[in-house]
Every structure is written in structure tokens, then in C-alpha cells.
Amino acid sequence: MPASFRAQSVGARSLGARGVAVAAALVAALTLLPLLVVVPDALSADPGEAASYLLRPRVGELLTNTGMLFVVTVPATVVVGVAAAWLVERTALPGAGVWRTLLLAPLAVPSFVSAYAWVTVAPWLDGFGGAALVTTLAYFPFVFLPVAALLRTLDPGDEEAARSLGLSPAAAVVRTVLPRLRPALSGGALLVALHLLAEYGVLEMMRFQTFTTAIMQQYAVGFSDTSSSLLASVLLTLCLVALVLDLLARGRHRVARVGSGVQRRAVPAVLGGWTTPALVFLAAVVALSVAVPVATVVRWLLHGIAEGDPLGADLLQVTLSTLGLAVLGALAAVVAALPGAWLLNRHRSGLTLLLERTTFIASALPGVVVGLAMVTLAVRWARPVYQTVGLIVLAYAILFLPRAMVSLRAGLAAARPELSEAARSLGLSGLAAFVRVVLPLVAPSVLTALVLVALAVNTELTATLLLAPTGTDTLALAFWREASELDYAAAAPFAAVMITMSVPLTMLLRRQILEER
């Protein structure tokens, strides 16, 4: 290759990398917009008064409640998600394909709909126990999905070699499989942790107070007051702790390889006498996470029809509005996440790690905080965008960027960088190499990211309430309005449509597990 051509190629690559870095920095800056309201308000408080407020027993109770939920829910989702993924992907489980679909089904049921179901079925189940149960059942698919997808693609050669050297099956799995599951495990656990920090609907219905519900109560008393910002600053600190723990747990282990490998599935382990316990375990998980809420929604829906209640003349309009916002929010989040995910995988450094971690910070804030911050910023400095679809889509991108980032990060980690280098050495530009080589490889991960964000937008509650343009309603808002008035029959149609809309997206996730290579 001529020296001049090599120089031009290197220069183009450098320019392309700088362009991606600038784009990632702009995205990171946009995600920090809510902090421009929260942090200055918190810092404006008198230090003595702020310390006195944060050291109150009430704040200690909120911190204890939040910590208890973390300690129980995150490990529980990891255990349930990993156990379920192992059973359907690495054992001779009867009906594994059916179980794979059923274990993804909780993603089609909004978490606050599950809470609504449990409140009506078992009114005595509230407080910490109810909150931990519902969040575990709602969030374990975030761990199951990436772990199952990775288990399905892992080459069993290393595990077989370890067993040939005398290791037991369990020891071989611990030594060769678990280290390669770390990116999927840490990414799924991080999503669960961030959802717990921002959860409002489940905790409010279960009457379990955490920082999120307390902030909502504070904002109901005073718009974006200092007390709310002080509580939000504690929530931000907890988010930073979760991000640091994820960074430590993920490590630097590489899961991609240069060679194609044997391209075969591992031989399924025979369960033997463990078949019945395994089936009972999976049946219990599916019954509690899917059957109970779906049966409850159907029961209230039929009750309303029997009483002559109309399904709602505006049901179709609300459904179309929700679908439109879900598509726009998913596209915005995936496009925004791509530069950061690319930099983290191809040009890993302290700066790229900082940019990626920055995009996760605002997502730990409750939707109400992000929504009020966006309203404040728009009214003060960008009044023309107030009460527009663009503003609410921007809020969705900020809130759900981690969902897209985790999926894209996993896909790019498995897309070998050597292929891009080879394409560029043959004369393709950086953009052309990405479109022709990388994009087809990461397309399944892009689809997963779109689905995960669309599912989130479909059920987002508090930010939508604050930012939706006048006259715009969504299924989540309509459901919450009726459920808050204890009119469970009137809320059922909106819950049923939310679940129905989410089913096709969940099936796309199932296809992702089956086809990802």
C-alpha cells in the first residue's frame, strides 16, 4: 500500500474517531441537562440547613428502605434470571422453546400493572415484601435476556477442554463460562439497579416509601424546591455507587475472538431427577410474574363489560399516541447511544468510560425529576420547545439511554474489530466499513435496543404526565388516572392494551435470543 494512501487512511480514521467522540460528548452533555436544575438547587441551600435536613431520621429511613430493596431485588433477579437462562439454554429441559417465550413475557406486563394486580388479589401484600416481590418478578428478564443470548452463542470448546483436564462439570462452568458471562450479568444487574432507583408506580401502590416516592411527594408540595433537590442528590449518589460497582464487576474480559470457532451448541445437560424441580421452579416464576397480572386484568375487564362500562371512546386515540411516542423515543435513544457504545468498545480509555458513565446518571433520577427539570429548562431558555413532542422525546432518550447502551455495548463487544480494520485496509472509509461490516453484525443488538426502549416508553408515567403536549394522552397516564381512583374496572382496558402492544415487541426479543450469533 503506498505511503500516501496509508497516511490518508490514518487521517480519515482519526477524523472519524474525533467526530464520533464529539457526538458522544454532545449526547453526554444532553443527558446532564436535568442536573443543571437539580444540582444548583441543592447547592443553593444553606450548608447547615442542608445537613440538618439530610440527617433527619426520615432520610435515614428512606435510605434504609432503598438499600433493603437493592440488597434483596438485585441478587434475586440475578439468581432467577441466570437459573432460568441456564435451564432453557444449557439443559435438556422439556419444552425449552415454550419456556423461553414465557420467561420473556413479564416484559410485556408493565411493573405498575403487576402491582395493581397484586394489590387487588392480595391487599395484605404491601410494604417491603410486596415491593420486593413485584420488582423481582418484573425485572428478572433484564438479566435473563442477555445471559440467555450469550449462553446460546458461547463456544463449548473451552468448557469441554476444562473437563478433559479433570475438572468436574460444575468447576468447568465456574472456570470457563461464568467469566465470559460477566458483561451480560453486570449489564443486566445495572439495569435492574437503575430501575429500582427510578421506580415510582410499584412503590406507590405497595405503599413502600423510598427516595423516589418522597421526591414525588416533595414536588407535589413545592415545584422543584430545595428539599426535593437535596433528596435527588442522594439518589444521584446511589446511582454513582451502582455505576462504579458495575464497572468493577464487568472487568476487561474479552468475549469476541478472531477465529470462527466450531459454531455449535453445547451438548444439553441431562437433568434426570432435577427435571421436576426445574419445571416447578419455572412454572412458579411464570405464574407469579405473568399469569397473576394477566388474569387480574382480564377479570376486571370482563367485570367492566358485564356492568355495561364502555371501553372508552378515546382508547384508540390514546393507543395511537402511545405507539407514536414509543417509536420516536426508541429511535432517539438508540441513535444517541451508538457513538458512546462505539467509543467504549473501539477506543476504550478513561475519557470514554467517563462519557458512558455520564449517560447513565440522569436515568437514575425519577421520571418526575427529569420531567420537571426539562420543563424548567424549556421555560427559562427554550420556550418554543415547551409543550412539544420534541421535548418529551428528548426526555425519553435521557431516561432510557442505558437500555440502548447496554444492548449496543454487548453487540459491539462480539463484533470483532479486526474485521473493520481489514475493511479499512482495503480502502473503505470508516463510515463505509461500519455500514457494510459492523452494522450487519450488530443489527440484532440494535433491534434489541429499539425494543427495550419502546417497551419502556410504552409504560412511562411521570415524565409523560409533565411533558406531554396539551391534549396528548397515553395508555400509562389513562391507566394510572383510573387506578388511582380505585376504579380498577375502568383501568383494565388501558392495561390490556399496554400488554397487547408489548407482546409483539417481546416476541422480537425471543427471536433475538434464537438468532443472535
Three-state SS for 276-304 is HHHHHHHHHHHHHHHHHHHHHHHHHHHHH
Please compute, for residue 459, the number of CA atoms within 13 A of its CA located in the half-sphere on the CB side: 27
Q: pLDDT tens-digit profile of 442-491?
A: 777 788 788 888 888 888 887 888 888 887 888 988 898 888 888 888 88
> Which residues, in sequence order, are CB contacts of 223 under 8 Å at separation 6+?
372
State how far Cα 514 lies from the chain centre: 20
Helix (H) or strand (E) holding 489: helix 488-515
User: For residue 199, what is its C-alpha cell?
Assistant: 421506580
Average per-residue pLDDT in the chain? 78
Q: Higher-confidence residue: 514 or 380?
A: 380
- DSSP 3-state assignment of 252? coil
User: For residue 75, what is its C-alpha cell?
Assistant: 441478587
32, amino acid identity: L
Confidence at residue 1, expressed as pLDDT on a 0 to 100 scale = 47
**What are the beta bridge partners of residue 91?**
269
Output phi, psi for 209, to 5 deg: -85, 130
109, amino acid identity: V
Average the pLDDT over 74-81 and give the result.
Answer: 94
Return d(Cα 232, Cα 470) in angstroms, integer: 27
242 with 198: CB under 8 angstroms?
no
Confidence at residue 290, expressed as pLDDT on a 0 to 100 scale = 93
11 class by beta-carbon count within 10 Å (0-12 exposed, 13-18 middle, 19+ buried) = exposed
Confidence at residue 140, expressed as pLDDT on a 0 to 100 scale = 94
Report which of 445, 255, 250, 437 is spatially closest to residue 337, judged by C-alpha positions. 445
Per-residue pLDDT band at 9 (split at 50, 70, 90) = very low
Report which of 480, 513, 401 is spatially closest to residue 112, judged by C-alpha positions. 480
Output phi, psi for 475, to 5 deg: -60, -40
Q: pLDDT tens-digit profile of 396-429?
A: 998 888 778 877 876 676 666 655 556 566 555 5
Confidence at residue 130, expressed as pLDDT on a 0 to 100 scale = 92
Return d(Cα 382, Cα 292) in angstroms, integer: 46
Per-residue pLDDT band at 235 (split at 50, 70, 90) = confident
Q: How far is CA 121 from CA 124, 207, 280, 306, in A?
A: 9, 16, 22, 20
Confidence at residue 114, expressed as pLDDT on a 0 to 100 scale = 93
Query: CA gyration radius for the chain?
Result: 24
440 class by beta-carbon count within 10 Å (0-12 exposed, 13-18 middle, 19+ buried) = exposed
Q: To 5 degrees, how large is the angle CA 411–CA 456–CA 241?
A: 70
CB atoms within 10 A of CB 492: 27
- DSSP 3-state assignment of 269? strand
**Is the predicted pLDDT of residue 113 greater than 70, yes or no?**
yes
Return d(Cα 356, Cα 352) in angstroms, integer: 6
14 class by beta-carbon count within 10 Å (0-12 exposed, 13-18 middle, 19+ buried) = exposed
User: What fold, for 8-255+275-515?
Assistant: MetI-like fold (1.10.3720)
User: For residue 197, what is its C-alpha cell?
Assistant: 432507583
> Which residues, in sequence order, are CB contacts of 165 under 8 Å at separation 6+?
none
Ordered alpha helix ranges (H), 384-487:
389-414, 417-425, 430-433, 439-459, 462-467, 475-484
Confidence at residue 156, expressed as pLDDT on a 0 to 100 scale = 60
User: Largest Cα–Cα distance of the chain, in whole Å?
Assistant: 81
Return d(Cα 34, Cα 45) in angstroms, integer: 18
Report which of 512, 515, 517 is spatially closest to residue 104, judged by C-alpha positions. 512
**Is the predicted pLDDT of residue 256 greater than 60, yes or no?**
no
Domain ranges of the chain: 8-255+275-515
User: For residue 227, what is its C-alpha cell?
Assistant: 428539599
User: For residue 58, what is its C-alpha cell?
Assistant: 426520615
**Is the predicted pLDDT of residue 3 greater than 80, yes or no?**
no
Query: Is the pTM here over 0.85, yes or no?
Result: no
- Determine the straight-line distance between the first and last CA of the chain, rounded to whole angstroms: 34
198 with 212: CB under 8 angstroms?
yes
Q: Which residues of 196-205 are buried (b: 16+ CB within 10 A; e: fewer)?
A: bbbbbbbbbb
Report which of 507, 154, 99, 46 is spatially closest to residue 279, judged by C-alpha positions. 99
Return d(Cα 60, Cα 23) in angstroms, integer: 40
Confidence at residue 275, expressed as pLDDT on a 0 to 100 scale = 87
Most confident of 109-123, 157-171, 268-282: 109-123
Range with lowest mean pLDDT among 141-150, 243-252, 314-323, 367-376: 243-252
User: For residue 290, what is its C-alpha cell?
Assistant: 405473568
Confidence at residue 133, expressed as pLDDT on a 0 to 100 scale = 95
Question: pLDDT exceeding 70 applies to what percent of the chain?
Answer: 74
